[in-house]
Structure 1
Amino acid sequence: MTNEQIILNERFELMKSGKIGTTGKYIYIEDAEGNKKKVKEPAQLHTFFAWKKKGYKVKHGEHAITKLDIWKRTNTNSDNKEESDKKPTFMKMTMFFFADSQVEPMQKAE
């Protein structure tokens, strides 16, 4: 399962439990049999640094709404092969996520 799938599944679970809302948009989900279903898109989840990169800051006193194990690609192989011959390796990391209701736009410096 990709990181995007892990995060999307968690967004749906948090929306179902009432911890987060929706974006107000609809998305189409296709199941294993090929059936398409129109559903409300859950609110966005990002890490602290991902929100910062998007120009938002986590509100003072907020705690992560969830933590997930996701995969990070690394190229550290113990062999002394050339760069082009190295196979990517992946490391599992626990990351903390914040919902869009927990962030606010950063103030621009004047």
Structure 2
Amino acid sequence: MTNNEIIYRTSVQFVEDGILDMVLVDGMEMPEPIHTFNGWKELGYSVKKGEKSKIKFPIWKHTTKTIEAQDKNGNTTEQDVSKMFMKTAYFFTFAQVEPLKA
């Protein structure tokens, strides 16, 4: 399951639990948008000072690490090793953010 699927399914569950609200998006009812601190920043918003994340749940995190490896001839080479793991992410709603000041 991708992070987008995890976020959508978890959002729906939080709507059913009464934690998130439904909003109209292009004439369709959807769970209110949630993003991480960096996600809102990429969209041109900043989290208001003092706000705490409304919800948290695990999503996939990808890292790449460069390691030195030796081949059978004893030559040292650098290799990139990718790793995926679940990490708790903290999400904020639209009501908790404001547009970035220019």
Specify the alignment match of 2:16 in structure 1: 16
Specify the alignment match of 1:99 in structure 2: 93
Specify the alignment match of 1:35 in structure 2: none
Q: Considering Cα pairs closer than 8 Å and 6+ residues apart, tell me whether 1 or 2 has the greater RCO.
A: 2
Measured on the aligned residues, the alpha-carbon RMSD in Å equals 2.2
* Superposition map of 1:27-106 within 5 A: 40-76=29-65, 80=69, 88-106=82-100
CA drift at 1:89: 2.2
SS in structure 2 of the partner of residue 75 of structure 1: strand
Tell which structure's C-alpha radius of gyration is larger: 2
User: C-alpha deviations, 1:59-109, integer Å up to 9, x for none?
Assistant: 2222101111111122337673765xx66321221111101121111222x
| TM-score, L = length of structure 1 | 0.70
Structure ranking higher in strand proportion: 2
In structure 1, the gaps of 5 or more residues are 27-39
Aligned AA for 2:57? L
User: C-alpha deviations, 1:6-25, integer Å up to 9, x for none?
Assistant: 11111112222222222302
Specify the alignment match of 2:73 in structure 1: none
Contact 2:53–2:91 (Cα < 8 Å) also in 1: yes
In structure 2, the gaps of 5 or more residues are 70-76
Identity of aligned residues (%): 33
| TM-score, L = length of structure 2 | 0.74
